[in-house]
Copies of this chain bind each other. A is one copy, B any other.
Amino acid sequence: MPVTISDVARAAGVSKGAVSYALNGQAGVSEDTRRRILSTAAALGWTPSLRARSLSSSKAYALGLVVARNPRLLGTDPFFPSFIAGIETTLADSGYSLVLTVATQTGSEEASYRRLAHEGRVDGVILSDMRTDDSRIALLLELGLAAVTLNRPDTPSPFPAVCMDDTEGISQAVQHLVDLGHTRIAHVGGTQHYIHGLSRRNAWANTLKLNGLETDLFIEADFGATEGVAATADLLARDNAPTAIVYANDIMATAGQAYAQQQGLRIPADLSVTGYDNTEYAQYLNPALTSIGSDPLLWGSSAAQVLLNQLDGTHDGADVVLPAPRLITRGSTAAPHNRSSSGSK
């Protein structure tokens, strides 16, 4: 039989209310009695019941994360496991837990948020994979859930954002290639209704324009290996085939690189390649992949912290800006071998 607040109250010779005040650090008890209560509570080994607190305080003491992804792409992406690990480092000593939901079916995403809110499972959610004109902002407002967003959405949002600029890394990659002498630099982008899919493309295009280069070599893919290969095949078959391809993530770069090699191209001599994420295996590819090293762990812990602060009113409402991921140069990028403008096929 676990010890309850009544036991503590009796042992300390006060009322349950006093114990509650003492526990929550609220006014209503003198410093002396508070200490006495707390120490007898510790002596009895009392821990407040989460369920009872939840019921009477109408709080869940939990945060939610809804991951909406194609299951096939899920296992491929190094982001979420690390991101979640980051969230956990913050939650570990906070009394809060993480409720994770995976929405693989289209349409089940909204249902997930609704359920989380309706059942009162969580007090707030972390919004990742922000989309253009993201409908979740209105949804969460309707549901009355607190939230943080990963990067600031393109529509007005009342929620604080934790930002990690992904344009700087891409700009560095493009500039790196330009400096090496490339003039036909393609971009295999991710799904463009994701903010980060779009912003990476824009960074690529802007940097090219700054250098007076064309931005016609663009293909949208889905961040997956299959479409990464298809996009690569498409680009390499063109008359003005690129001498370098900037991919929106490592898995597409990896798959694209392998495809190009199968087609007889040497990397980086015939084709330079860059990725994004700096996946663990990127350095072990052949050649090692030039990539952009983000920090999902930090992003996760920061996002959780901001949300926690928001929930207890500590947050000032300002966005938090994290250091921008930077380019990591490896063997997959080099000066173009020859400048002939002929297609490669």
Mark A residues whose CB is within 8 Å of B: 47, 49-52, 54-55, 58, 60, 62, 71-82, 84-85, 88-89, 92, 97-104, 108, 116, 118-121, 224-225, 228-229, 251, 254-255, 257-259, 261-262, 279-281, 283-286, 288, 296-297
Interface of A is mostly: helix
Q: Which residues of B contact A261 (CB under 8 A)?
A: 286
Bound CA span A82–B228, Å: 21
Q: Which of B72, B102, B297 contacts A71 (CB 8 A)?
A: B297
Neighbouring B residues of A283 by C-beta, 8 Å: 225
- Give the Cβ gap from A163 to chain B, nearest Cβ, in Å: 21
A230 to chain B, nearest CB (A): 11
Q: How far is the CA of A85 from the CA of B104 in the complex (A)?
A: 8
A92 / chain B contacts, CB cutoff of 8 Å: 108
Tell whether, in the assembled complex, residue A284 and residue B108 are in contact, meaning their CB atoms are under 8 Å apart.
no
Residue in A103, A228, A285, A297 with the greatest tally of chain B CB atoms within 10 Å: A285
> Which B residues lie within 8 Å of A225 (CB)?
280-281, 283-284
Q: Knowing A62-B99, A82-B75, A286-B261 are in contact, say whether A251-B281 is a contact too (CB < 8 A).
A: yes
Q: A118-B47, A225-B284, A284-B255 are in contact. Are A102 and B76 (CB under 8 A)?
A: no
CB of A280 within 8 A of CB of B72, answer yes
Chain B min CB distance to A255 (Å): 4
**A206 CB to nearest chain B CB (Å):** 29
Residues on the B chain within 8 Å of A98, using CB: 99-101
A100 touches B102 (CB 8 A): no
A129 vs chain B, min Cβ distance (A): 14
CB distance from A73 to the nearest CB of B (A): 8
Closest to A72 in B: B280
Enumerate 6 A-B pairs (CB-CB under 8 Å) in ascending A order. Answer: A51-B58, A62-B121, A75-B82, A251-B281, A255-B281, A258-B288
A75–B71 touching, CB < 8 Å: no
CB closest residue in chain B, given A84? B102
